[in-house]
Chains A and B, each alone.
Chain A
């Protein structure tokens, strides 16, 4: 079965750290770009971070830049998010999400479209004293 399963969430104090994991199965993980997306309780979706299939290219939202680190281990089919200096506003469900593989059109133009075709069920991070 094609799936993503997040883990590692929990309750942490402001200023603390947490490491989230996302285990992929049912597809060739090393061929896909991955992201973390979060959702605060009762709120909308917010993109957090992106990592290329090889791990060589990484991007972050301004709200987490300098505090969060995304990484992956293709041998273990796993994606990670190291979260440091956590704040109350980081409280959210964190989803890992897959970007579909890019493709060449008839003109030879390469399309790398960053929408999310597969999501995990999420893991809840609560930052509170």
Chain B
């Protein structure tokens, strides 16, 4: 199975700053079938990005995804207070579907 490793484990930033989250795959993810989710405490995950770079409906344009092959990035251009949460990447290019372990984005 494809193992996804997210870094850093925890990212401490202030509102207004730029956040860069990394997701590295143990094998190439075919067709850039990589998604990103945001999860807040007590809530279900919310889809942010699919196909490595396509924003889901209703997701603000401060969220952007990039990458291909084994290296993918989620960038939040200017952090809003509501962006502090845990972020997960997921690959769906090869069975079984796998998720990264998550990056916690916390307020500095």
CB-CB nearest in chain A for B36:
A115
Interface residue count on the A side (C-beta < 8 Å): 20
Chain B hits for A46, CB < 8 A: 99
Distance between Cα atoms of A45 and B97 in the complex (Å)? 11
Tell me the dominant secondary structure on chain A's binding face. loop
Contact A45 B35 (CB under 8 A): no
Contact A44 B44 (CB under 8 A): no
Which residues of B (49-100) have their CB < 8 Å from a CB of A?
50-51, 56, 88, 90, 92, 95-100
Q: Is B45 an interface residue (CB 8 A)?
A: yes
Chain A hits for B33, CB < 8 A: 113-115
Chain A hits for B56, CB < 8 A: 117
Contact A47 B47 (CB under 8 A): no
Contact B44 A115 (CB under 8 A): no
- A contact residues vs B (CB 8 Å cutoff): 35, 44-47, 50, 59, 61-62, 95, 100, 113-117, 119-122
